[in-house]
Structures are given as C-alpha cells and as structure tokens.
Amino acid sequence: MSSQPQLMSPDPEPLRLAVLSWLAAVPSPNIPTQTIKASCLTLGAKPVACRSPVFSSSRKRRASQTPSPTEPISPPATITTPTTITTPADAAELLSKMADARQSTARTPSPNKKRKTGRDDPPRPSLSYSDSVSSLSRSSGKSSGRGSPTKKERSLRQTTDFPVRRIILSEPGNSITDLPDSVVLLMRDLKAIGSGDEGVIPDMFYETMCRENTILNQPKRHWFVKEDGAEDEVRYRDRRLRSIWSSSLECTRRSEHEAGWNDSVHGPLLDEALYDISIIARRNITSTRISSAFRDTDPELGETKVDYGLFLQSTPDSKLATLSRSVPVVHIDLPDAPQTPLAVSIETKSLSARITDGPTQLANWARAHFRHMELVCRPPVLAATPLEGLSIQSPDNPTLQPTLVASTIPVLSSDIGPRQLPVLPLIFVLGNRWSISFAQRANGQTLIWQDVPLGDTNTLEGCYFVLHCLRRLAAWADIDIRSWWEDALAAKMAE
C-alpha cells in the first residue's frame, strides 16, 4: 500500500505544492487529442505519477464541458514520468514545462479563418457605417468581374482580334487622309463649333451675356449669329440651356455621382439638342448588355456597357424600316428588339472617375459594334459554285492525294455587302466636359481617332456649343450611317 502524504507542519507551503501537483495532472480541454505526458506528483519520498487521458474524436466536445457533480475531476491513475516536488523551485520548473508543452501542441490559426470568440474575450469593435459600405463596395467589385482599366486597355492593344490603336488628332504628323471625306468635314465642323470659332449663339443675347459675365469671361463677338427662328422658341431654348448650365455648376460643387449628372445635365442636354429632330432619338442603355454573339472572347476584357445611344429613326414605309424587319440591326439586347440602328454611342462619367475608364469602355464597345456590322454586310452565307473537275488538296493532311470534285459545292461568297465598315462616332462626357472620337476598322486594327472637344457645360456658351455639335452630328449620321445600313440590308435581302 502506498503511503499517503502527511502534513506534519502548519506551514502552508507544502499544501500549496500539493495543490500544484494535483492541478498539473488535470487534463486541459484545449490540449489536442494526443498523449501528453503531464506529471502528477505528491509530496514525500515516494512519488505517485499519472497519465493524462487520450480522448477519442467523439469525446472532444464532452471533454470541454463542465463535469457533473457525480463525476468530480480526480487525478489520473496511471504512471508515466515520475517527478518529486519538494521545493518551490521544483514547482516553478514544472509549470514552465507545462507552458512549453501547451505552446508546442497549439495549432496556428489560418489567417483566412475567423476566430470564434469566447465569453471571456474582450468585445470586438464593430464596423462603422462608412467602413461597412466601403467593405461591401470592395467585395462587390471583386465579384462583378470588372478588371482594371489599365489591364483592359493593355488587352485591347495586344489582342489579335482587331487590336486598338489610338491616334491623337492634335499630335503633329498625324494625317487624316485615311478617313472618308465626309468624316473629315464633320471633324472640322465639330472643332469649329466646340471651340467657338463658328457662331451659334443668337445675337439677341450678346448684351445680356456681357452684363452677366465678369471681365475675365466676357463673350467673344464671333460666338454670336443672327437668330434663326421664332423669337419665342429662341428664348425658350435659352432658358432651358441656362437651367442645364445651373445644374452643371451645382453637380460640380457637390461632386455629384454619375447618375446625378445624367439625370440633371447629360440627359436634358441630349433631349434639348434632338427635340425637333425626328430622324434621331436618344435612349438610355446603361443596363443593356452586348449580345452574346458579339462579346469579346478574352476574359480580361469582359463585358462593356455605355450610357446612351443615338438611334436612327424611320417611318414605317421607309426603306430602312422595310429592310430591317428580317435582320437584327443592333448588337445589344434591347427589350423591344428595335429596327433602329445605333448611330452614336455615348459614355458618361462623373468628375471623380478616372479619365481613362470611359475611352477604354468605348473602344471595346466599338469593337463589338463592328463585329455585328461585319456580320450584316458579310454574312456567313454559302453560295453554290460549280467546281466540277477541280482538284482539291486536303488542308488537314497534305500527304493525301488530291481528289476531283464531281459536282457543285458551297463556298463562301466574297461579293456580298459593302466593302468598308462605316466610321463610328464615340462621345465621352467627363462631368461637364464633352469630347468625341471616331472608331474605324482598317488594316486589321481598330483605329480610335481622338479627341475633338465639343464644349463645357459649366459655361452658358459651352452649353450652346455642345448642343449645336450634337445637332451637326445628327445630320451627318442621318446621311452616312443611314445610307450604309440601307445598302447593307439591301445586299442582304438580295442573297
């Protein structure tokens, strides 16, 4: 029979050492399910040692629960490594070894996992509303699939499918001789109107603008022209443009977001410019997707959207309306499947946006537009061609002997539709500043001729400049874009 420890002295130190020895043998709920050698020692010459129990996986949770009164915690009953505690130094050494054992068996938590908090843990600081919104914005940006504009621009320039090449019109040495004459004339007119070299403001407002403006912003006499039209209509338009001018200044002061600019400035100015032009209509296509057949296959480019489109309109008995009934004439998924081709694409941004975002979107959008127009004018239609007696070599296996064709076979006809795709106007609006570029397909590339300034809506004269540039552009689109579509659809119907 083992001897029991005898406390022969009222000195409390031996009792403290005995308690420490007993606590060392109690299994900790945080120790992993592996055998841990913990010493359970007694006072006196004859040591009593014990082993910590090894729990099975089914008992992990029960081991950490509070024991019932009928099952009190008791020292383990098996012997492992005996150690005798006789001095406070022995007790301190034992506690140090226990701490080292716990640290070596504890797992390092994964940085991606959230640690569960216990009842005794200090409360975690909660996110503020602004932090929560910022976190949500970052996570939604990752899930939306939108790539970096810099990467997208690089992909546009490096793609093998009609890569983008940007040509800055103001750069010395750049020639516009490769553009159609009508486009060159349009560029010159837009530049003259947008810079104020061509008078577009009714002369009746000259004195008023001189009184309103400061000495540093006095109107120039060549901005004005003799009014054309009824005075009531002229004054009504001036009031409308003054309202848009005021809204533009307010959006600038407030650092308004894009939707606010569109609602207060961009949309109303487009409506005012086109209100009496029935041949062109603007539509908000912010949520409209490119049809799947014309999207870019490069995942880096992804899907592109723009804000507005100017669409050709036609009467039910017109040539365009008659020809477009059997052929989709837009490359986007509009709910009404209109028979009105897209003539001008417009992308808008707020002043806080990156200046490169809009041009990158428009360039990618134009590439999809060109894919659709190419399909319309050169459809993959096979025409029967007599090839009797022609020797054909197998392209997959050149070692095979050529075979003779005994009948007609279908081949792709190369004489269907117009030879050249039209030039597409691309308008970019950055807050109050409007500009236009032109996309052209030539020599296996997508050329972007940029930028012609159209005006600034933070001035009254700038509102007039933008309005008249839009009207001049609508007149050009009604002739050039409409005639291209009529010719392409007529060739399609003649197949």
In the chain, the percentage of residues whose pLDDT exceeds 70 is: 64
Name the token pair of 13.
Answer: 């130190």
According to DSSP, the residues that pair with 312 across neighbouring strands are 280
Mean pLDDT, residues 375-404: 49
Select from 269, 183, 169, 189 the least CA-distant residue to 477.
183
The winner for highest mean pLDDT among 65-69, 104-108, 156-160 is: 156-160
List the single range of 135-149, 206-220, 262-276, 361-375 with lowest mean pLDDT. 135-149
* 351 class by beta-carbon count within 10 Å (0-12 exposed, 13-18 middle, 19+ buried): middle
pLDDT at residue 46, as a whole number: 46
pLDDT of 439 reads: 97
Does 350 score more than 90 pLDDT? Answer: yes
Of 460 and 100, more confident: 460
Query: How far apart, in whole angstroms, are the C-alpha atoms of residue 330 and residue 286?
Result: 15
pLDDT (0 to 100) of residue 223:
96
- pLDDT at site 324: 73
Query: Which has more pLDDT, 211 or 53?
Result: 211
Sequence spans of domains, the chain: 13-61+75-101, 149-383+407-493
Percent of the chain at pLDDT exceeding 90:
44
| 273, burial (CB in 10 Å: exposed 0-12, middle 13-18, buried 19+) | buried
**Tell me, what's the pLDDT at 273?**
97
Q: Is the pLDDT of residue 380 over 70?
A: no
User: Residue 495's pLDDT is what?
Assistant: 67
Structure confidence at residue 489 as a pLDDT band (50, 70, 90): confident
More confident residue, 97 or 149: 149
- Supply the DSSP string of 222-251, one letter for each residue: GGEE---S-HHHHHHHHHHHHHHHHHHHHH
Average pLDDT, the chain: 76
pLDDT of residue 377: 83
pLDDT at 169: 92
Q: What are 264-318's pLDDT values in tens digits?
A: 999 999 999 999 999 999 999 999 999 988 988 888 887 789 999 999 998 777 7
pLDDT digits (tens, 9 = 90+) for 79-103: 444 455 556 566 556 556 655 655 5
d(CA 473, CA 12): 101
Helices (H) and strands (E) counted in the chain, each on its own, are: 13, 13
